[in-house]
Each structure stands twice: as C-alpha cells, then as structure tokens.
Amino acid sequence: MQIAAKAKEASRKTATLTTELKNLALWQIADELEQNKSLIFEANQKDLTTAKPLLETGDITKSVFNRLKLDENKMRDMIHGVKDVADLADPVGKVLLKRELDNGLLLQKVSCPIGVIGIIFEARPDVIVQISSLAIKSANAVILKGGKEAVNTNKTLLSVINSALQKIDGFPAATIQQVFTRDDVNDMLKCDRHIDLIIPRGGNRLVQFIKENTKIPVLGHAAGVCHIFIDESANPEMATKIVIDAKTQYPSACNAVETLLIHKRFKEMEKLLTALRSAGITLIDNPGDWSFEYGDPTLAFKIVNDIDEAIEHINRYGSGHTDAVVTENAANADKFMNEVDSSGVYHNVSTRFADGFRYGFGAEVGISTNKTHARGPVGLEGLTIYKYKLIGNGHIVAEYMDGTKSFHHRDLKI
Amino acid sequence: MQIAAKAKEASRKTATLTTELKNLALWQIADELEQNKSLIFEANQKDLTTAKPLLETGDITKSVFNRLKLDENKMRDMIHGVKDVADLADPVGKVLLKRELDNGLLLQKVSCPIGVIGIIFEARPDVIVQISSLAIKSANAVILKGGKEAVNTNKTLLSVINSALQKIDGFPAATIQQVFTRDDVNDMLKCDRHIDLIIPRGGNRLVQFIKENTKIPVLGHAAGVCHIFIDESANPEMATKIVIDAKTQYPSACNAVETLLIHKRFKEMEKLLTALRSAGITLIDNPGDWSFEYGDPTLAFKIVNDIDEAIEHINRYGSGHTDAVVTENAANADKFMNEVDSSGVYHNVSTRFADGFRYGFGAEVGISTNKTHARGPVGLEGLTIYKYKLIGNGHIVAEYMDGTKSFHHRDLKI
C-alpha cells in the first residue's frame, strides 16, 4: 500500500519535529478551520442531503444522522479542541529513566512516537480534526478512514488541515492522509510492515471485524458492558442516584451501565427498583445474554449472594471497561477494586466518569480495554512508546565479561 | 482450552497476593531447587541421552545441545536468579498517578498484572525457572511450552516449582502450568479470550510463526539485524574496538552487529577492515540480502555517502533492535539517535549492551522490537499494565454536565 509506505517515511521526519513547530502547525490548523467554516458547512450539507433519505428509509439511524451533522457549536468545539491540544505538554522527548550504567556510560529511556497509526471510525467528522491534532502533537503519522456518510465533510476537513500544514516550513507532507473505501481498509489491515497501531472507533461489529482481520496491534474497545454492584451496606439514596446517572445520563455511551447486581441482603431493593423504573429505566431480570450492551435505558439486573458472586459475574460477563461498587464497607470496596479485572474500578461513583476529559487528560484517543500498552481512557501518552539511548566512550561488553569493568547502575535525577 | 481457562481463573487470585507471600514463594522455590538438584540433573541426563544421537546425525546443532545441558554453574545461576527476583521491587500496586478530579473524587492509576501470559521457548530449561519467578513476582499466571528436547528436565523443574508453591498457603494452584505438544501451542494461540500476551523466545522462524497465527498480542523480536555506522569523524581505534566486540564477543546473540556502514570519507577504512579480518571476521561487501542475521562472525558492510544514507539504510533493512553510531560529531550522534527508529540507539558503544541485566533491570523477560507496550530489554515492568481506581461519595456525571459542579484536576503527591 503506497499510502502506508509514504506514511512510514513521513513518520520518521515527523518524529523529529520540535514542540514549537508542532504547536505552530496546530494553531495554523485552528485558524484555517475558522476561515473555511462556510466551505466545511457546505460540504457537510451535501452529506446531510445524501443521508436524509437514508434516515427516512431507516438505512441509517437518527443517532448516526445527528453525529454526522456539524453545527456552529460543534465547529467551535472542534476548533477549540485543536488549540487545547496545542496547550498540552509535548508527550515526545520526555526522559523516563536516566541511569549511569558505569563511569561514562549513560542510559536514557526517552519517550518517542509510535510511528504510523491507522484510525478507522464511523460517521463523526469531528474525529478527523481531533485525531489529526493528537497525531501532530505526538508526532505520529496517521491514515484516517471515516464513515462513507461523511465523505464530503471529511475530504474538506482534511484538505483544510493539509493546506494549513503546507504553510509550515519543514512539516512532512504525508503526516495526515485519508483513505475512503472498504478495500482501502482491508489493505491497511494487511500493512503490518508500515502501520504500527490500528485504532478503531465505532460499534462492536467494526471493532470485532478489525481485530479478526489484522496482525497489527489494535487499541480500543469492542463492547462496553459496565456493571454496578449494590452491596449489602450501600447507602440507598446514593445507590439510586448513581444507577440513574450511569444508565440514563447518556444511555448509548460505552461507559453507561448495562447490568445491576444487588446483594440479596440489600434492604431497600424494592424501593431502588421502583425508583429506577420511575426514572424511565426498563429492568430485565435474568436476560438470556449477560454480556449484551443495550445502549438504551434498559438495565439487566441480578440478585447475588455475596460480593464474590458479583466479582465473578463481572469478570465472566463484563467487557473489562468500567465497573462500580456502591458500598459503605471499605474492605469490600478494596476487594472489589482489586479483584475486578477492568480498566476502571469505581467506588461510590457513576461509571460515566470513564472519559479522558473527565480524568484530566485534555484530549482522548478513545477508551481501551486492552491488557497491554494502554488501558482505560487513552490520551496523548498512549500514542507514544520509548527508545533507549546509550551514550559511552568506546565501551565494549567484553570488558564487563572478563571482569575488567563492572556496572554500578546509578540512577540520576531527571 | 481447559488449561487457559484455569490460568485465567488463577490469575485473578494471583493478582491479589501480597509482596511478602510472593517473595516467600520465590524463596521456597529456590530452596526446593537446591534440595532437588540431583533429581533435576537426572532428568536432564535423560534429555541429553536422547539428544546425543541427534547431535551426531546433525538433527540438532551443537548450540542447542549446549543450551540443553544443565551443569552445576547453570544450576547455581538459576537458583541465584530466583533469589534475585525476590529482591526486586514489587512491580504491582505502584501508584502511577494520583489526581483529585473534584472535591472528594480521587483518581488513582495503579499498576497491576496483565493476567495470563503464554511463553513459548526453545530448548533452554533454565527459562522455565526464570519466567516462573518473573511471573510470580509480577502476579501473572503463565502457561509454558518448552522445547521438546528438554521435556524431562522441564517436567521435573516444573514439578519442583509447583511442589514448592503448594506449601505456600493461599498460593493459587494453576499459576504456573506447562504444555508439551505442538497442538497445545496451536490451541494456546487461539485462546485470545483467556491469554493476554504471548512471549516467544527463540529463533526467527518460531517468532514469525507465532505472529502469523494468533490474535493475542505478541511481545518479542523476530530478528536482530543490528548496525554500526562509522561516521567520517569516528575515532578509528574506538571504531575497531566497538565493531570487534559487537561482532565477535558472542556472534549468535540477537544484539550482535550484522551490518557495518562506513562513511565514504572515514580516513582509516582500510586499516579498520584489515583489523576486523585479523579478528576473525568475514566481511561481505554488498550481500544480496541486507536484512540477513548471520549469527556468526560474518559481517556485511557498505560504504555510504553520508549519515542520512546510513539512517535510511538502517530504517529500511534493520529490525528495530539496536543500532550504534561511532562519531566524534555530537550533532551527528544526536541526529542518529533521534532518527533511527530502533529500540536501542547507541553512541560510541557496542550494540552488545542491549540486555536487561546490563541495563540494571535485575531480570529480563526478553527483548522487544514492538512499537507498543514494551520496547527494548523488558524487565518486570513489561509484565504489568495498570487500572484506574476512582473513589467518590455518590458523584454523578449529570452534575458536571449541567454545571452544578466542575472538575479541578489537582495532581497529588504520590
């Protein structure tokens, strides 16, 4: 794939850009997005016109249509987001370890970009701008594949971004590229020589398809089957408030709760269930599939014998996303947070807090349920890796093997 | 796969063990290895007896035979290694970030084990003991598959380890398990539900096979095609010394140099090449394949026009393992270390330093050329990931959306 090879080549140069140049590029993008707003709205209108009949025939959902639509507010947030990324600390070039191995032999572990990242997302054109900003700041090259519904908007956004980047002297041309077809995606997934990481942002089926069809590491989450366990000692008002927030505040979010587990000795069970129903929640006792992500105000529930059963249920049927316990018992809270194997383990808090902005990361690539590299909400740091730099003065290993020299491994202040 | 499911179950319990219990387990293993030395040597003798005719017919190499053979020295090092791991800091439970998101809403990023790790290695029985120790200290469950030549030794070592672990009250039984056949490996590679990471330790073909046949993340390196670039300004004596060390000190190591790049204006070129030949190195000018790992005292070499050509060559043909520049020019050293995209980038140092023990990690899982999770020599830290713990007092997201509350994101001292 020509585009992937070009991205790899660009990424070597992008990796060496200074913080100043990267921030200059981000400011230039923000400016040009501002200047080209009407052009972007025009392109978006085209996409909306194509999408409208599909909405009417039910070929796309209302929520896809809404995500596709750019308005003044979204545009403002989008431009603001680019400036926010410029304000974040540079994640590249951070010294993570500085150790003198021996006299004159200095080891440094330094953060650096991953290289080339493929991003496959569904119909949300603002993702293009967000991911491009994060890629620039973390000095990675990216290949973007957006939803076909947003093709005109995406093309226009990328041309504005790249026209801005062209004005930055020394900025490698192929840092941000875009592809459009399903065949392109299949090609991308095969490019393990040139693409270092794939980040899918979309529904379960998209993520599953990608995981099944590539050898490239995939960062993301397929499902968001979050749980809340109401322990015996839970404060009933707090329990009610947290479950209602976690289920109704934004039911289609991946961090919304799907299953409620209630300790059999929780005294206010009936009152809780009544309150949840009053809040518009449909409760399902014993659904066939405990791993189903409803994405609407439906909530599965189960009465459990003890905290161990709750933990086991979550580890078996959950997706490792975010799970909460409501309890006044500190030992149980600790037990839950240590034994539940999820990226987020919460005590007396709604699951909806699982989010890079709420965690204070300033920007978010997505949420990962991976067990390697990055887990939970992923910010700029998740787009970096590190390299080891070793500086000496003719040091050779033979002298350490024959006992002439020996290591003293002295950590230096960073 | 029954074994993988059992490993997953065990891993949830192993994850919660205290440092004290894990160290107790390691000391118990060291003791029992010491007590059962003759049993282990006996089993090893059986493997050697089976291997001997294969060595004579050339079905196994001398180096495989030597790696298979345990002697008093290797046994002593092996037992010492277990105690060393006990002495290392616990990589689990480290607080990596502590941030107050708002009053009474505390976020902590805490290191935790990955879960279940599959290790597939060739005929080196000491790997069993080393990896088991690292797994215990990092609180992961492991499934080990060793080389078939070492089957008796491996079985005996594992039974000694597990008999030691049985004596530790509360230590989960299925933390360290072993499988034996090629079919078992194929089953393991399919267990992406229960196995979180595969670490292959062996030749290029083994690693390639595994990468091609699993969806589980793989940590390791296939090839070790390391380079040394002799810049125009290189100190000739230093250059000679470093290249001889990097090629001859242990030619079959993955961090041995395979390709020498020499700046066309380096004045002492002929003298350097003569010295290398005198040291027993066979030089090959323009080999057909620049990505070949010789693993013996053969060294490919190429004269390049400038540092850019050297960097491009390395990024194109190298394996991203470890590459060195010999130069007296500080700007060139910086350029090389920033632009070469390898896990180790060295200045005036032999490539042979790429090693967890030499870096002061105390133990090594292997060397990774991955661009995600862990890169370069991987110690205990590479066997961990993290989870986010969020503790509140009935906090819900709705109040932050409607403006009742707002985040203040205050980092606390760890």
Name the closest residue on chain A to residue B234, using Cα atoms: A394
Of the pLDDT bands very low, low, confident and very high (cuts 50, 70, 90), residue A290 is: very high
Name the closest residue on chain B to residue A236, using Cα atoms: B394
Question: How far from the centroid of its chain's Cα atoms is residue A281's Cα?
Answer: 28
Whether the per-residue pLDDT at A217 is higher than 80: the answer is yes
Interface of B with A in 263-322 (CB under 8 A): 315
Interface of B with A in 7-36 (CB under 8 A): 12, 15-16
Q: CB of B395 within 8 Å of any CB in chain A?
A: yes
Instruction: Give the ranges where B15-99 is alpha helix by DSSP (H).
Output: 19-35, 37-56, 62-68, 72-87
Q: CB of A193 within 8 Å of any CB in chain B?
A: no
Task: Say if the Cβ atoms of B249 and A397 lie within 8 Å.
Answer: yes
Q: Cα separation of B206 and B195, whole Å?
A: 18
- What is the distance in angstroms between the Cα of A42 and the nearest Cα belonging to chain B? 30
Bridging pattern class, strands B141-145 and B257-263: unpaired
> Position B213: which residue type?
N
Element (H, E) at B4: helix B2-14
Residue B257, beta-bridge partner list: B226
> Position B337: which residue type?
M
Q: CB of B368 within 8 Å of any CB in chain A?
A: no
Q: Cα separation of A61 and A83, whole Å?
A: 32
Q: CB of A407 within 8 Å of any CB in chain B?
A: yes
Sign of CA dihedral A246, A251, A256, A262: positive
Count CB-CB contacts under 10 A for residue B174: 20
Interface of A with B in 65-124 (CB under 8 A): 99, 101, 105, 107, 114-115
Chain B residues within 8 A of A390 when measuring between CB atoms? 344-347, 349, 353
Yes or no: domain A2-219+365-386 corresponds to CATH 3.40.605.10: yes
Let me know: does B31 contact B22? Beta carbons within 8 Å.
no
Let me know: does B320 contact B369? Beta carbons within 8 Å.
yes
Of the pLDDT bands very low, low, confident and very high (cuts 50, 70, 90), residue A358 is: very high
Let me know: does B201 contact B120? Beta carbons within 8 Å.
yes
Of A191-200, A213-222, A239-248, which gets the smallest average pLDDT? A213-222
- Predicted local confidence at residue A28, as pLDDT: 98
Of B12, B237, B407, the CB nearest to A360: B407
Q: Cα separation of A325 and A349, whole Å?
A: 8
pLDDT digits (tens, 9 = 90+) for A186-214: 999 999 999 999 999 888 888 999 998 99
Chain B residues within 8 A of A249 when measuring between CB atoms? 396-398, 401
Interface of A with B in 205-224 (CB under 8 A): 211-212, 215, 217, 219
Residue B261: both structure tokens together: 């790049």
Burial B189-206 (b: 16+ CB within 10 A, else e): bbbbebbbbbbbbbeeeb
Name the closest residue on chain B to residue A383, using Cα atoms: B372
Task: Say if the Cβ atoms of A390 and B345 lie within 8 Å.
Answer: yes
Q: CB of A389 within 8 Å of any CB in chain B?
A: yes
Chain A residues within 8 A of B217 when measuring between CB atoms? 217, 370-373
- Predicted local confidence at residue B186, as pLDDT: 96
Percent pLDDT > 90 in chain A is 90
Question: How far from the centroid of its chain's Cα atoms is residue A362's Cα?
Answer: 12
Task: Say if the Cβ atoms of A348 and B391 lie within 8 Å.
Answer: yes
Of A15, A245, A396, the CB nearest to B397: A245
Q: Which of B287, B231, B235 is nearest to B262 (CA)?
A: B231
Residue A284: both structure tokens together: 């399902």
Choose from B349, B391, B393 for mutation: most chain A CBs within 10 A. B349
Let me know: does A154 contact A178? Beta carbons within 8 Å.
yes
Residues with Cβ within 8 Å of B311's Cβ and at least 6 positions away in sequence, in order, are B229, B335, B336, B339, B340
- What is the distance in angstroms between the Cα of B413 and the nearest Cα belonging to chain A? 16
Task: Say if the Cβ atoms of B249 and A398 lie within 8 Å.
Answer: yes
Summarize chain B as % helix, strand, coil (round to 5): 45, 20, 35
Q: Which of A152, A153, A164 is nearest to A86 (CA)?
A: A164
> Greatest CA span in chain B, whole angstroms?
80
- What is the distance in angstroms between the Cα of A305 and the nearest Cα belonging to chain B? 20
Q: What is the mean pLDDT of residues A221-225?
A: 90
Count CB-CB contacts under 10 A for residue B38: 8
Residue A217, beta-bridge partner list: none
Q: What is the mean pLDDT of residues A210-237?
A: 94
Of A337, A386, A396, the CB nearest to B350: A396
Instruction: Give the ranges where B279-388 is alpha helix by DSSP (H).
Output: 307-317, 330-339
- Predicted local confidence at residue A160, as pLDDT: 98
Let me know: does A412 contact A107? Beta carbons within 8 Å.
no
Residue A279: both structure tokens together: 């809040």
Question: How far from the centroid of its chain's Cα atoms is residue B157's Cα?
Answer: 21
- Predicted local confidence at residue B1, as pLDDT: 81
Residue B233: both structure tokens together: 């300004």
Higher per-residue confidence, B100 vs A221: B100
Name the closest residue on chain A to residue B333, using Cα atoms: A391
Q: Which CATH superfamily is domain B226-353 in?
A: Aldehyde Dehydrogenase; Chain A, domain 2 (3.40.309.10)
Q: Cα separation of B123 and B64, whole Å?
A: 7
> Position A40: which residue type?
I
Residues with Cβ within 8 Å of A407's Cβ and at least 6 positions away in sequence, in order, are A101, A102, A400, B358, B360
Q: Cα separation of A262 and A313, whole Å?
A: 12
Chain B residues within 8 A of A339 when measuring between CB atoms? 12, 15-16
Question: How far from the centroid of its chain's Cα atoms is residue B331's Cα?
Answer: 31
Task: Say if the Cβ atoms of A400 and B219 lie within 8 Å.
Answer: no
Chain B residues within 8 A of A12 when measuring between CB atoms? 315, 339, 341
Of B242, B341, B359, the CB nearest to A396: B242
Task: Say if the Cβ atoms of A390 and B347 lie within 8 Å.
Answer: yes
Residues (pLDDT < 70) of chain B are none
Q: Helices (H), strands (E): how many in chain B?
A: 14, 16
Of A122-126, A158-162, A307-311, B151-155, which gets the smallest average pLDDT? A122-126
Half-sphere exposure of B192 (CA within 13 A, CB side): 12
Name the closest residue on chain B to residue A140, using Cα atoms: B371
Of B99, B115, B393, the CB nearest to A341: B115
pLDDT digits (tens, 9 = 90+) for B46-93: 999 999 999 999 998 888 898 899 999 999 999 999 999 999 999 999
Let me know: does A198 contact A207? Beta carbons within 8 Å.
no
Structural domain spans, chain B: 2-219+365-386, 226-353
Task: Say if the Cβ atoms of B397 and A249 lie within 8 Å.
Answer: yes
Chain B residues within 8 A of A376 when measuring between CB atoms? 386-388
Task: Say if the Cβ atoms of B360 and A392 lie within 8 Å.
Answer: no
ipTM of the complex: 0.96
Write the DSSP assignment of A109-164 as a string of letters: EEEEE--EEEEEE-S-THHHHHHHHHHHHHT-EEEEE--GGGHHHHHHHHHHHHHH
- Residue B411, exposed/middle/buried by CB under 10 A (0-12, 13-18, 19+)? exposed
pLDDT digits (tens, 9 = 90+) for A312-356: 999 999 999 999 999 999 999 999 999 999 999 999 999 999 999
Question: How many residues are given for chain B?
Answer: 414
Question: How many residues are given for chain A?
Answer: 414
Of A196, A393, A394, the CB nearest to B372: A196
- What is the distance in angstroms between the Cα of B341 and the nearest Cα belonging to chain A? 7
Let me know: does B107 contact B124? Beta carbons within 8 Å.
no
Element (H, E) at A349: strand A344-349
CA angle B412, A379, A249 (to 5 degrees): 85
- Beginning with the edge strand found earlier in the chain, give each strand of the sheet holding B410-411 in spatial order: A282-285, A298-304, A257-263, A226-230, A322-326, A344-349, B384-395, B105-113, B95-102, B410-411
Residue A221: both structure tokens together: 């989450």
Question: How far from the centroid of its chain's Cα atoms is residue B379's Cα?
Answer: 7
Task: Say if the Cβ atoms of A388 and B114 lie within 8 Å.
Answer: no
Whether the per-residue pLDDT at A123 is higher than 80: the answer is no
Name the closest residue on chain B to residue A342, using Cα atoms: B387
